[in-house]
């Protein structure tokens, strides 16, 4: 009886409490209550055990390596030319490659000889061909006229001796300004060779002629730098250089200590240079014909100054021997 009463009371309490009915037994749906183990919102994520962890299969294939770069093979001479030309082109200032010696004595000798030839041709032509003496044979004026023409041609050859003499050769970077101002761009330096010629006549208001060419447009018949002797060792070459420096030092000290005989010594040297220039006037000794854009120019190799004893020009220009 007591148990029956407790069950009726509990049934009555459940029926009369709408809050309890709304929470556990909704009025519109008679579905079983959802628990935490079955709810999709509050369902706890089950972590897999270490033994059940998914193992990714290891691939045996290795990543493909990039194809090797193909480096073009060039000859050692071309590589040397490119490297030396690029080194000079990357500089921000011109580089002097060659400076000729003084040619005053040579020019004076050429002009003096040509003046004598022209004077003799004019006088001989006027006195023996235009107005010949009376009583001479017919062929005599004709012969003297031929001699006059020959002397005039010889004077022309002498007066053209100082023409196309190279004074200086300078390497000038063409893109020096653009290289210094360009930011974030790959600059391609270019090298330009400036060849300055000596003036045939020392006129004050006429500038010297200058040629601007590429290094490959210069052709040398022979290498300017003398080949090293195979019989001398490096120690012997070093000893020769030391002796030359000592001789130059001794000569300089002699000139400074013997100051009174300086004019006499200079006079004798001037006469020696003059006689040497007269000999060069006839046979053109000491000049090398350098080809620049298809024309020949004269380079003096008996004196002056050259960068690295002439090896700089040998590296830049083309050496083509002429047989």
DSSP-assigned states of every residue in 36-59: TTT-SSSPPPPPPPGGGPPPPPPP
Closest by CA to 96, choosing from 88, 106, 87, is 88
- Yes or no: say if 247 and 227 are a contact pair by the CB < 8 Å rule: no
User: For residue 184, what pLDDT is reported?
Assistant: 40
Instruction: Mark residue 309 as left, alpha or beta (left: phi above 0; alpha: psi -120 to 50; beta: remaining).
Output: left
**pLDDT given for residue 194 in this prediction:** 94
Mean pLDDT value across residues 203-222: 89
Please give the pLDDT value at position 323.
57
Confidence of residue 133 (pLDDT cuts 50, 70, 90): confident
| Residue 228: predicted pLDDT | 67
Residue holding tokens 């006129």?
Answer: 203
Lowest average pLDDT, out of 5-19, 62-76, 235-249, goes to 5-19
Domain residue limits, the chain: 78-319
Q: For residue 295, what is the DSSP state?
A: E
Specify the pLDDT at position 168: 95
Are 314 and 225 in contact by the 8 Å Cβ rule? The answer is: yes
DSSP lists the bridge partners of residue 297 as 290
d(CA 281, CA 105): 10
Residue 197 near residue 167 (C-beta atoms within 8 A): yes
Residue 178 vs residues 38, 183, 238, 317: alpha-carbon distances, Å = 77, 10, 43, 26
- CA–CA separation, 186 and 174 (whole Å): 15
pLDDT above 90 coverage of the chain, percent:
30
User: Which of 212 and 2 is assigned the larger pLDDT?
Assistant: 212
pLDDT at 83 over 80: no
Whether the Cβ atoms of residue 310 and residue 100 lie closer than 8 Å to each other: no
User: Please, which pLDDT band fits residue 123 given cuts at 50, 70 and 90?
Assistant: very high
pLDDT score, position 77:
45
- pLDDT per residue as tens digits for the range 138-156: 899 999 999 999 999 999 9
């Amino acid at each position: 009886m007591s148990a029956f009463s407790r069950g009726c009371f509990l049934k009555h309490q459940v029926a009369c409490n709408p809050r309890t009915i709304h929470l556990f037994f909704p009025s519109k749906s008679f579905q079983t209550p959802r628990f935490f183990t079955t709810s999709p919102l509050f369902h706890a994520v089950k972590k897999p055990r270490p033994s059940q962890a998914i193992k990714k299969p290891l691939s045996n294939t290795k990543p493909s390596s990039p194809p090797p770069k193909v480096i073009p093979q060039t000859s050692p001479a071309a590589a040397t030319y490119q490297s030396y030309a690029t080194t000079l082109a990357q500089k921000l200032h011109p580089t002097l490659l060659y400076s000729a010696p003084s040619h005053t004595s040579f020019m004076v000798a050429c002009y003096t000889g040509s003046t004598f030839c022209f004077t003799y041709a004019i006088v001989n032509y006027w006195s023996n061909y235009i107005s010949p003496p009376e009583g001479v044979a017919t062929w005599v004026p004709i012969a003297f006229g031929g001699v006059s023409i020959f002397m005039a041609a010889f004077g022309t050859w002498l007066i053209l001796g100082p023409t196309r003499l190279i004074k200086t050769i300078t390497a000038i970077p063409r893109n020096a300004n653009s290289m210094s101002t360009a930011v974030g761009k790959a600059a391609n330096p270019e090298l330009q060779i400036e060849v300055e010629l000596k003036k045939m006549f020392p006129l004050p208001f006429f500038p010297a002629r200058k040629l601007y060419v590429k290094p490959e447009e210069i052709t040398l018949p022979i290498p300017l730098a003398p080949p090293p002797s195979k019989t001398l060792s490096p120690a012997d070459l070093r000893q020769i250089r030391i002796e030359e420096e000592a001789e130059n030092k001794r000569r300089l000290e002699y000139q400074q200590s013997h100051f009174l005989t300086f004019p006499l010594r200079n006079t004798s040297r001037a006469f020696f240079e003059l006689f040497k220039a007269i000999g060069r006037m006839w046979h053109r000794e000491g000049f090398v014909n350098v080809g620049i854009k298809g024309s020949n120019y004269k380079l003096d190799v008996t004196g002056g100054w050259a960068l690295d004893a002439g090896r700089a020009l040998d590296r830049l220009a083309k050496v083509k021997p002429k047989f």
